[in-house]
Structure 1
Amino acid sequence: MRSKPRLFAFSHICSQSYITGAEKLLLFMLKELIPYFNCTLVVPNTGYLSAQAEQAGVAIIVQPIPISVPLYLSQPHLMEELHKFRSHSDYAALVQLLAEQRPDVVLVSTSVHPMPAIAAKELGIPVVWMLMETIRLTPYTSASVALIERYSDWIVGISESTLQPIRMFFPHLAHRMMLLPPSWHIDALRPTSWLTNRENRRNRLAIKHQHKLIGFIASSIYENKGFIPYIKMSIEIATRHPNAMFLVVGNPVDRPLFDSGIDMVRQAGLLERFRWVQFEDQIETIYPAFDLLVVPSLTAEGFGLTALEGLIFKKPVVAFASGGLAEIMAATGNAANAVPVGDIGGLIARVDALLHSGDLYTIGEKNAHAADLAYGLTAYRIKLLRLLELLRANTIRVPHLVRGSGPVIYLLEGGILRPFRSEAAVIEAGYSLDQIMEIDDATIHALPKGEPIGRLELSVAIQTPAPPAPMSRSRSRKGRRGTRVRGGKKRSSKSRGRASTRRRSVSARKRSARRKRRG
Structure 2
Amino acid sequence: MADKATIILFSHVSNQASITGAEKLLLLLARELAAGFDCIMAAPQEGILTRQAHLAGIRTELLPLPLLYGMYTPYPGLEQDAERLRSDRSYERLTEWLSAAKPSLVVVNTCVHALPAMAARALGIPVIWLIAETLGGGGFAEISTGLIDRYSDRILAISETAASPFPPEVRQAKLTMLPPTWSAGEAPEAIRSKLRSERRREWSVSPEQPLIGYASSFLTQEKGLEHFVHMAALVAQQRPDARFIVAGAMREASYYKRCLRKVKIEGLRSRFRFIGYEQHPAEFYCAVDILVVPSLIREGFGMTALEGLASGKPVVAYDCGGLGEILRTAGREDWLAARDHIGELAGNVLQLLADPGAAAALADDAKARVTAAYGPGAHRARVAALAADWRAAWAPGPGPTLPPPAARAPDAPPPDAPAASGAEAELPPPDPAAGSGPGPAAGSGPGPALLRRSGRRADRSGARLRRGKLRRGKLGRGKRRRSRAVRRKAGRQSRRTRTAVRRRSGGGRKRRSRKRSARASV
- Shared fold (TM-score, shorter chain, > 0.5): yes
What percentage of aligned pairs have identical amino acids?
35
1:296 to 291, 294, 297: 294
Normalising to structure 2: TM-score of the pair? Answer: 0.73
Q: Call closer, same or farther: CA 1:149–1:220 in 2, change over 3 Å.
A: same
Q: What are the within-5 Å matches in structure 2 for residues 13-92 of structure 1?
A: 13-92=13-92
Question: Who is 1:242 aligned against?
Answer: 240
Q: 1:42 to 1:143 in 2, by over 3 A?
A: same
Kindly indicate whether structure 1 or structure 2 has the higher relative contact order, using CA contacts under 8 Å at least 6 residues apart. Answer: 2
SS of equivalent to 2:292 = strand
Q: Give per-residue Cα distances to partners, 1:470-497, cap 9 Å, x unaligned.
A: xxxxxxxxxxxxxxxxxxxxxxxxxxxx
Structure 1 residues 401-445: Cα deviation after superposition (integer angstroms, max 9, x where no partner): xxxxxxxxxxxxxxxxxxxxxxxxxxxxxxxxxxxxxxxxxxxxx
1:23 counterpart letter in structure 2: E
The answer as to whether partners of 2:155 and 2:174 remain within 8 angstroms in 1 is yes
2:260 equivalent among 259, 262, 269: 262
Partner of 1:161: 161
Q: Which residue of 1 aligns with 2:360?
A: 361
Computed over aligned residues only, the root mean square deviation of the Cα atoms, in angstroms, reads 2.0
Q: Which amino acid aligns with 2:378?
A: A
**8 Å Cα contact 1:109/1:132 also seen in 2:** yes
Cα deviations across residues 225-279 of structure 1 (Å, max 9, x unaligned)?
A: 0111111111010111011100011012011111111111111111110000110
Partner Cα distance (2:351, 2:179) in 1: 30
Residues 90-129 of structure 1: matches in 2 within 5 Å?
A: 90-129=90-129
For residue 387 of structure 2, what is the amino acid of its counterpart? L
How many residue pairs get matched? 398
Q: Which residue does the alignment assign to 1:461?
A: none
- Tell me which amino acid in the other structure corresponds to 2:288: F
- Equivalent-residue separation in structure 2 for 1:75 and 1:248 (angstroms): 36
2:193 aligns with 195
- 8 Å contact kept, 2:72–2:137: no
Shift of 1:70: 0.9
1:384-399 → structure 2 map (5 Å cutoff): 384-395=383-394
SS of equivalent residue, structure 2 residue 85:
helix
CA distance in 1, matches of 2:119, 2:2: 27
Aligned in 2, Cα 1:34/1:302: closer, same or farther, shift over 3 Å? same
Contact 2:16 2:48 in 1 (8 A): yes
Indicate the larger mover: 113-122 or 385-394: 385-394
**Structure 1: runs of 5+ lacking an equivalent:** 398-445, 448-519
Q: CA deviation at 1:179?
A: 0.6
Q: Given the two structures, how large is their TM-score scaled by the length of structure 1?
A: 0.74
Distance 1:192 1:287 in 2: 16
SS in 2 for 1:156: strand
Find the aligned partners of 1:313 and 1:355 in 2 and give their Cα distance: 18
**Does 1:148 pair with 2:148?**
yes
Question: How far does residue 29 in structure 1 lie from its aligned partner after superposition?
Answer: 1.1
Q: 2:333 corresponds to which residue? A: 335
SS of 1:96's partner is helix
The answer on whether the counterparts of 1:194 and 1:284 sit within 8 Å (CA) in structure 2 is no
How do 1:417-432 residues align onto structure 2 when only pairs under 5 Å count?
none
Q: Any conservation in 2 of the 1:157–1:179 contact (CA below 8 Å)?
A: yes
Q: Report the counterpart of residue 473 of structure 1 in structure 2.
A: none
Q: Indicate whether 1:348 and 2:319 are aligned.
A: no
How far apart are the structure 2 equivalents of 1:48 and 1:172?
Answer: 34
After alignment, is 317-326 or 350-359 more displaced?
350-359
TM-superposed deviation, 1:173 = 3.9
Q: Which residue of 2 aligns with 1:432?
A: none
TM-superposed deviation, 1:386: 2.4
SS of alignment partner, residue 205 of structure 2 = coil
Conserved 8 A contact 1:70-1:77 = no
How far does residue 285 in structure 1 lie from its aligned partner after superposition?
2.3
Q: Which residue of 2 aligns with 1:287?
A: 285
- Residues 357-410 of structure 1: CA deviation (Å, up to 9, x unaligned): 22233333222212211111222122222212321231179xxxxxxxxxxxxx
TM superposition shift of 1:313? 1.1
Q: Assess, with a 3 A threshold, how the Cα gap between structure 1 residues 190 and 73 changes in structure 2: closer, same or farther.
A: farther
Q: Runs ≥4 in structure 1, deviation > 6 angstroms?
A: none
Which moved further from structure 2: 87-96 or 149-158? 87-96
